Structure 1
Amino acid sequence: MPFVRIDALYADPARLDALGRAVHDALVETIGIPDDDRFQVLVGHDGARSTLRYGDHLGVHRDEGIVFVAITMRSGRQPELKRALYRRIAELARAYAGTEPRNVFVTVTENESVDWSLGDGLAQYAPSAEPVAEG
């Protein structure tokens, strides 16, 4: 159950959709999430009312094509799967949205099963063994 937030500078709705598809397809292909497990927040920044800041840290030259991808998911994926995920996101962002791989900045934050409620006020991945008192 990854939760994804994508922030892109000067991105119209079509580009945001393409970036969302790129990240989702990469998650399906590399770590095996179900195809219908798509929960994303897609945000375009216009550079005036909202913007993104970036630098050339670690020798990677970024420009106005910058895309920040923040993925929150349950812990347990091996480092090689995460590396494959980052690589595939960059490949698909180029193929779907024309985004240069050098402009794809990805972070993964991991948490535990009890940290998720997918609706109805329940922790579906970590159900309680105790009955819930009503009233």
Structure 2
Amino acid sequence: MPLVRIDLQKGKDASYRQKAGQIVYEAMVASTGVPKNDHFQIIGEHSADNFIFDPDYLGIHRTGDLIFVQIFFNEGRSVAQKQALYKAIAEGLSTALQLRPEDVFISLVEVKKENWSFGNGVAQYAS
């Protein structure tokens, strides 16, 4: 069960935002074994005043086109799966949206299965 947050500066149209979400979803299915239809995303737009980043941290030059992708999902994926996911997202966004790979910032947050409730106040994955 991944929950994905995608954040970017205001100014991109709805089709751009939706395409970004689709690319991230498809990369998760292909790279990390996320089941099809396990698709939950929050896409947020922010004014430049509320979208703060260092333009050159770690020697990577970022622009105002930067996209933050934060993925919350169950722990247990290998480093190789995570690396494949990062690459698939960056390449997919670059190809489909002409977004520079330097402008793709990805953060994974792994949680235990019992930390999810899909509704009804029940921890469906708890043992």
1:16 matched to which residue of 2?
A: 17
How many aligned positions are there?
A: 126
> What pairs up with 1:1-135 in 2 under 5 angstroms?
1-9=1-9, 10-47=11-48, 50-127=50-127
1:68-93 residue CA offsets vs partner (Å, 9 max, x unmatched): 00001110001010000000000111
Amino acid at match of 1:95: T
Equivalent-residue separation in structure 1 for 2:45 and 2:15 (angstroms): 11
After TM superposition, the runs of 4+ consecutive aligned structure 1 residues lying more than 6 A away are none
Equivalent-residue separation in structure 2 for 1:3 and 1:64 (angstroms): 24
1:106-125 residue CA offsets vs partner (Å, 9 max, x unmatched): 00011101100011111111
List alignment gaps of at least 5 residues for structure 1: 128-135
List alignment gaps of at least 5 residues for structure 2: none
Q: Pick the structure with greater CA Rg.
A: 1
Cα offset for 1:60?
A: 0.5
TM-score (norm 1): 0.87
1:130 matched to which residue of 2?
A: none
TM-score (norm 2): 0.92
Cα offset for 1:15?
A: 1.2
